[in-house]
Amino acid sequence: MKHNFFEHLNKEEYEILANKGTEAPFTGEYNDHYEPGFFVCRACSNKLYESKTKFNSGCGWPSFDDEIEGAIVRYEDNSLGRRRTEICCSKCDGHLGHVFHGEKITEKDTRHCVNSLSIKFVPYKNLQIATFGAGCFWKVQYVFSQLLGVYDTQSGYMGGDSINPSYEEVCKGNTNHAEVVQVAYNPKEVSFKDLLTTFWDNHNPTTLNRQGNDIGTQYRSAIFYHSDSQKKIAIEHKNDIQNKFNSPIVTEIIAKEKFYRAEEYHQQYISKNNLGLCDV
């Protein structure tokens, strides 16, 4: 019976999943959570959402633009004096939140607004992370997102001095942050060397703080390594390809620092706006 799925929940979790309650906005543990993995129902562990479908809607609750097939059921909800669509777990019927359409935030134009207390995060153990700066992150994200074996990509900022930088602050050039793309990939399908090949092939690593008409420290060429192995491979790869360029490669190879995810409108910008690639 349904209630058996809820008997292990604490009071706050039970109020939401069983009684269709709502947690306060901007209080949930998953509101700003973007690690690679998936989210399951807190009551019955049914797999609900892939983390790569999560986005920042600004609403204060975890937002997803797609569900795992068959994981969600929908009900008409006429409470609060307006018509909404409630979403529940297909296995235990636990309340998750509501789904909305037509807000034009993502390509799929869908927002599953979900309570953090309704879900639990399960990280993927077979993925690794790589971070690259290669000029405007719009193009860089698009290029890496097309690779087989890449699970997810996120545009953001790294390597600077300020906390929680905005795009406007980074563009002014006084934060020292680089525009970067963080790549979650399966090394059994695409190696770090393969990612490096894509990196070198899609920007000019010989121009200091510049890619084409984009000038500034935020456009510098950089590899932020996440392990000693990545560092070693990156240095060797850089030395191996130097003879392909007429000028010295100026790419920084430095340890990764805190990644600050860029504003939502920058994420998958080229795909969302149906644009061609920038020239470099």
- Is 200 inside any structural domain? yes
Same domain, 111 and 153: no
Looking at residue 276, its pLDDT comes to: 63
Whether 277 maps to a domain, the answer reads no
279 has pLDDT over 80: no
pLDDT at 1: 47
Quick one: residue 273, left, alpha or beta (phi over 0 = left, psi -120 to 50 = alpha)?
alpha
Give pLDDT tens digits for 143-177: 999 999 999 999 999 999 999 999 999 999 889 99
| DSSP of 211-226 | ETTEESGGG-EEEEES
If asked whether residues 24 and 151 sit together in one domain, one would say no
Residue 275's pLDDT band (cuts 50, 70, 90): confident
Please give the pLDDT value at position 278: 53
135 lies in the same domain as 228: yes
Q: Is residue 259 included in any domain, yes or no?
A: yes
* Residue 25 placed within a domain: yes
- Flag whether 280 is in a domain: no
Residue 77 located in a structural domain: yes
Domain containing 218 equals 128-272
Domain stops at, among 123, 140, 157: 123
Q: Which of 123, 140, 167 is the C-terminal boundary of a domain? A: 123
For residue 239, the domain's CATH number is 3.30.1060.10
Tell whether the model's pLDDT for residue 280 goes beyond 70: no
- The verdict on 97 and 217 lying in the same domain is no
| pLDDT average, residue stretch 71-92 | 94
Residue 278 is assigned to a structural domain of this protein: no
Shared domain for 77 and 23, answered yes or no, is: yes
Domain assignment present for residue 20? The answer is yes
- For 45, half-sphere exposure in the C-beta direction (CA atoms, 13 angstrom radius) is 3
Among residues 123, 146, 176, the one where a domain terminates is: 123
162 plus 249 within the same structural domain: yes
Tell me how far apart the alpha carbons of residues 267 and 106 are, in angstroms, rounded to a whole number: 9
Instruction: Indicate whether 159 and 25 sit together in one domain.
Output: no
23-68 pLDDT tens trace: 999 999 999 999 999 999 999 999 999 999 999 999 999 999 999 9
Residue 194 and residue 71 share a domain: no
The pLDDT value given to residue 80: 78
Query: According to the model, what pLDDT value does residue 4 have?
Result: 86
Same structural domain, 100 and 211: no
Interval 201-244: pLDDT, tens? 999 999 999 999 999 999 999 999 999 999 999 999 999 999 99
Higher per-residue confidence, 79 vs 18 = 18
- Looking at the fold, whether 255 and 145 belong to one and the same domain comes out as yes
The answer, yes or no, to whether residue 251 has pLDDT greater than 90, is yes
Distance CA 157, CA 260 (A): 5
Global pTM? 0.90
212 and 251 part of one domain:
yes
Q: What is the DSSP string of 110-123?
A: EEEEE-GGGEEEEE
| Structural domains counted in the chain | 2
Residues 216 and 91 in one domain: no
Which residues are catalytic, by number? 113, 136
Q: If pLDDT is split at 50, 70 and 90, which confidence band does 3 have? A: low
